[in-house]
Amino acid sequence: MRWPGGIAAGLVLALTLGTLGAVAWRAGFALRLGPADWAAIRFTIWQAALSALVSVVLAIPVARALARQRFPGRAALVTLLGAPFILPVIVAVIGLIGVFGRGGILNDALGLAGLGPVSVYGWHGVVLAHVFFNLPLAVRLILQGWLSIPAERFRLAASLGAPVGRLLEGPMLRAVAPGAFAVIFLICLTSFAVALTLGGGPRATTVELAIYQAVRFDFDLGRAAMLAVVQFALCAAAALGLRAAGAPEALGAGLDRVVEHHAPGGRMLDALSVTLAALFLMAPLAMILARGLPGLADLPGGLWPAAARSVAVALGATALTLAMALALALRGGALARLSMLLPLAASGLVMGTGLFVLLHPLVSPREVALLVTMLVNAVMALPFAARVIAPAVAQAEAGHGRLADSLGLHGLARLRWLILPRIRRPLGFAAGLTAALSMGDLGVIALFAGDGQATLPLLMVRLMSAYRMEQAAGVALVLLAISLALFWIFDRGGRVDAAA
Amino acid sequence: MTYRLHAGLALALLATPAIAQDKTLTIYAPDYFASEWGPGPAIREAFEAQCDCSIDYQTGDLLPRLKLEGARAQADVAIGFDSTEMKQARETGLFAPHGVDTAALTLPIDWQDEVFLPFDWSYLAFVYDNEALEEVPSSFEALVEAPDDLRIAIQDPRSSVSGLSLALWADEVFGEEAEEKWAALAPKITTVTPGWSESYGLFTEGEVDMVLSYTTSPAYHAIAEEDDTVSAAIFDEGHYMTIELAAQLKGAEEPELAAQFMQFVVSPEFQSLIPTSNWSYPSALPKAEWPEGFQSIALPKNAIWLAEDEADARREDAVEAWRQGLSR
């Protein structure tokens, strides 16, 4: 079936390039880059490359440890390690400052050891935060690579006494790591919210931050459109460059289920890797909990309606994203690949503003505020969902496609009997990712929301602008809990009867 | 007022309580203004009690939205402009004269604008914990020369009006030397946040010693939290004034209600709601009638006020001096 993929691609193109076109058409377009813009472009590329490199390098030992060791609580740990990636940025910053800030536990510990305080603010703060957000993604992507090595190959290698690392793991990493680097590099290219508070000053200005300034403050739409084009160009160049360097490929087919694959060596090293990663990723979560608990006693009115709105938007976005990702994966081809990548290069703010420009003559933006938020969230989450789903679909097709052909399985029947049963785990993971990412999104709703339409992140911002920092921290904790719960439910649902 | 129901997700999410009154005054306002914790709800209640109408707040970025919608804007009144951006607001050409007698205003400066009506104001100031900070700078110059271990959070002039006001403040105080002074301040500036609330959050968390805020911030802590440890440093050079404004739209569907609301803005009833809901000084209420927590906070001796053309003309250079100074 190719037509659903065509529709999905059309939707993605309309929401990314179409909305950009609408903004450019409204404002006029000219490519004028000042010295400050060039500085922003340089910083953007540099910090993204560094963040991606550090994330992937750190992820390899953690993923290997998780792949080859079995220990109690491993499944829970895998889920929890995924938490930072889906953490709303405004919530995460509370946690990061709680750990790495001046009054954070790291500096307390350094102080006890007689060492001077370290500052988290500056370019290193941006990289630290990006690694915090993206290390879990890198671990998951690489872990999936490990788990995709069929168990019988490990058995075969073991029976031949062949070196597992050189024969199986090396090629797998060479196939998977560039893809993980590419995805994280692209995410960090367009991320800006992190740089906002931890960046320390104008030196840490990214292109997306400049877009934010142009849209939200100067309201210079021509400039916003120009910067969005620059961002697309940057991402396109990055994507092409990384494609040339070798795109990840599907590995040979085997049994779907993961079994104990090989002699678990290096227990000490593995334990150390997992412990350090868990500390790095969990400590900020613990700080969010600690800061948020006092606020729970005094939660604001309007919290639960806002939470219900956020959950509804998240679930709607999830359904749409999964449908699009699946349709694109089944369609395949260049158009599908482009659609899976394009939203990474898009600016949510430009998308929101473009939709505003397009919809305003037809309908009051307020009436469709939550619908628009859902649409934008769905498209923005698509690259992540598709990156998880597409390889699984390809693998199912590669492994069992010919068998299905010989049985005459086509269309929905093929989906039902061939694809879906084999992609349950990635599908659940993708759904969890999308739901959680959508829960925490603030950008778009702030442009549109009317009276009584606040989502949880917007509620947090409102509390903070009214000096109510403690209540805001309480709402942050609720937001964190719901995001994690949504992720856990979907991910769990996907992993039922898969060996976790 | 009829409610057309849309199918699908929007239906369940957009449910708004039906209101019986037949006339609606539509007010565009910033998010903080209309939120449960801003002045909006109390103002709505007070006005609805006297107008036989209902107020509908539409929230979001005020100026961007008006620029985008242009003549199609549905607002009768827009409230919450910052005086630093008055020129940009005026240039939209969307507003009508307010017709209110400005003699009732109690601002430290003379105000006669026919279009923009002040509803509250404050002074920009660096706020600190008076139990923790020992050496409090008594001037902007002293702040620049303070030891480098002082930690300050400020806002980005490219994304927040308080940050922009700070850049203009420094430009006014230091003139040609502004970039040098920013460079000297740079080691003390722990971080620059996009908006006020992120900076203020860092201050309440104890991450920074001082934060760019307002002279009225201590009143919040004193009144709402019974905490007297927050103070604003008063600088000899004078303090940059921020005035918040309301305006009536030319294309208002309810011009009479809009005019009535503009009169209401300077009434004692509206004005007495301002201090403890928007944590700023009322624009038309004598100091003797301010709440106690506001009377006791220190006031700067000099107000720095830039007329709109001047603020607009100096904006670019002031922001560039800030950027260059902090990028060294």
Q: In this complex, do B190 and A119 lie within 8 Å of one another by their Cβ atoms? A: yes
CATH number (domain holding residue B207): 3.40.190.10
Query: Is the pLDDT higher at A400 or at A310?
Result: A310
Residue B143 lies in a domain: yes
Q: Which residue has the tokens 């602008």?
A: A465
Out of A121, A218, A221, closest to residue B190 by CB: A121
Contact B83, B161 (CB under 8 A): no
If asked whether residues B253 and B180 sit together in one domain, one would say: no
- Amino acid, single-letter form, for residue A352: G
Which residue on chain A is closest to B37 by alpha carbon? A466
Residue A186 has pLDDT above 90, yes or no: no
Contact A472, A463 (CB under 8 A): yes
Per-residue model confidence (pLDDT) at position A451: 65
If asked whether residues B214 and B323 sit together in one domain, one would say: yes
If asked whether residues B206 and B317 sit together in one domain, one would say: yes
Could you read off the pLDDT of A231-277 as tens digits, one per residue?
A: 999 888 887 776 665 544 433 333 333 435 455 567 888 899 999 99
**A446 neighbourhood in chain B, CB within 8 Å:** 31, 60-61
**How would you write A122-184 as a 3-class SS string?**
CHHHHHHHHHHHHHHHHHHHHHHHHHCCCHHHHHHHHHHCCCHHHHHHHHHHHHHHHHHHHHH
Instruction: Look at residues B59, B43, B49, B57 and name the one whose alpha carbon lies nearest to residue B21.
Output: B49
CA atoms within 13 A on the CB side of B79: 29
**A369 neighbourhood in chain B, CB within 8 Å:** 14
If asked whether residues B135 and B200 sit together in one domain, one would say: yes
If asked whether residues B249 and B237 sit together in one domain, one would say: no
User: What is the CB neighbour count within 10 angstroms for residue A434?
Assistant: 31
Out of A101, A357, A449, closest to residue B207 by CB: A101
Query: Is the pLDDT higher at B6 or at B118?
Result: B118
User: What is the CB neighbour count within 10 angstroms for residue B6?
Assistant: 14
Identify the weakest region by mean pLDDT among A245-249, A344-348, B152-156.
A245-249
Residue B251 has pLDDT above 70, yes or no: yes
Residue B3 lies in a domain: no
Q: In this complex, do B192 and A199 lie within 8 Å of one another by their Cβ atoms? A: yes
The token pair at A50 is 């560094």
If asked whether residues B189 and B305 sit together in one domain, one would say: yes
pLDDT, mean over chain A: 84
**B190 neighbourhood in chain A, CB within 8 Å:** 102, 119, 121, 200
If asked whether residues B229 and B271 sit together in one domain, one would say: no
If asked whether residues B160 and B84 sit together in one domain, one would say: no
In order of start, what are the domains of chain A with their CATH numbers? 1-28+298-500 (1.10.3720.10), 31-296 (1.10.3720.10)
Contact B307, B243 (CB under 8 A): no
Q: Which residue has the tokens 């104890």?
A: B206
Per-residue model confidence (pLDDT) at position B128: 97
Q: In this complex, do B205 and A103 lie within 8 Å of one another by their Cβ atoms? A: yes
- Amino acid, single-letter form, for residue A263: A
Instruction: Look at residues B321, B316, B181, B161 and name the one whose alpha carbon lies nearest to residue B241.
Output: B161
Contact B119, B245 (CB under 8 A): yes
**B206 neighbourhood in chain A, CB within 8 Å:** 102-103
Q: DSSP string of A318-387? A: HHHHHHHHHHHHHH-HHHHHHHHHHHHHS-HHHHHHHHHHHHTTTS-GGGGHHHHHHHHHHHHHHHHHHH
If asked whether residues B102 and B135 sit together in one domain, one would say: no
- Kind plus residue range of the DSSP H or E element containing A50: helix A35-68
Per-residue model confidence (pLDDT) at position B163: 96
Residue B132 contacts A where some CB pair is shorter than 8 Å: no
Q: In this complex, do B202 and A202 lie within 8 Å of one another by their Cβ atoms? A: no
Residue B23 contacts A where some CB pair is shorter than 8 Å: no
Report the distance separating Cα A450 and Cα A368, nearest Å. 10
Per-residue model confidence (pLDDT) at position A49: 94
Residue B142 lies in a domain: yes
The token pair at A156 is 């075969």
Out of B31, B151, B206, closest to residue A462 by CB: B31
If asked whether residues B144 and B280 sit together in one domain, one would say: no
Report the distance separating Cα A119 and Cα A18, nearest Å. 42
Which residue on chain A is closest to B6 by alpha carbon? A367
Residue B1 has pLDDT above 80, yes or no: no
| Mutant choice from A464, A468, A475 vs B, greatest count of B C-beta within 10 A | A464
**B208 neighbourhood in chain A, CB within 8 Å:** 102
Instruction: Kindly give, in sequence order, each residue whose CB lies less than 8 Å from that of residue A317, ignoring residues fewer than 6 positions away.
Output: A374, A375, A377, A378, A381, A434, A435, A438
Range of the domain at B111: 9-121+243-295
Residue B2 lies in a domain: no
Contact B251, B237 (CB under 8 A): no
Report the distance separating Cα A232 and Cα B115, nearest Å. 42
Percent of residues, chain A, with pLDDT higher than 70: 91
Report the distance separating Cα A373 and Cα A381, nearest Å. 12
Residues 147-166 of B with CB under 8 A from A: 151, 156, 158-161
Out of B36, B57, B190, closest to residue A302 by CB: B36
**B61 neighbourhood in chain A, CB within 8 Å:** 216, 219, 446-447
Q: Which residue has the tokens 């709105």?
A: A309
Distance from CA of A339 to the nearest CA of B (A): 25
The token pair at B62 is 């005020």
Number of domains in chain B: 2
Contact B233, B210 (CB under 8 A): yes
Contact A246, A142 (CB under 8 A): no
Residue B4 lies in a domain: no
Could you read off the pLDDT of B168-215 as tens digits, one per residue?
A: 999 999 999 999 999 999 999 999 998 899 999 999 989 999 999 999
Identify the weakest region by mean pLDDT among A341-350, B93-102, B270-279.
A341-350
Could you read off the pLDDT of A141-169 as tens digits, one per residue?
A: 888 788 777 777 777 887 787 777 777 78
Q: In this complex, do B201 and A472 lie within 8 Å of one another by their Cβ atoms? A: yes
If asked whether residues B128 and B108 sit together in one domain, one would say: no
Residue B19 has pLDDT above 50, yes or no: no
How high is the ipTM of this complex?
0.85
If asked whether residues B183 and B319 sit together in one domain, one would say: yes
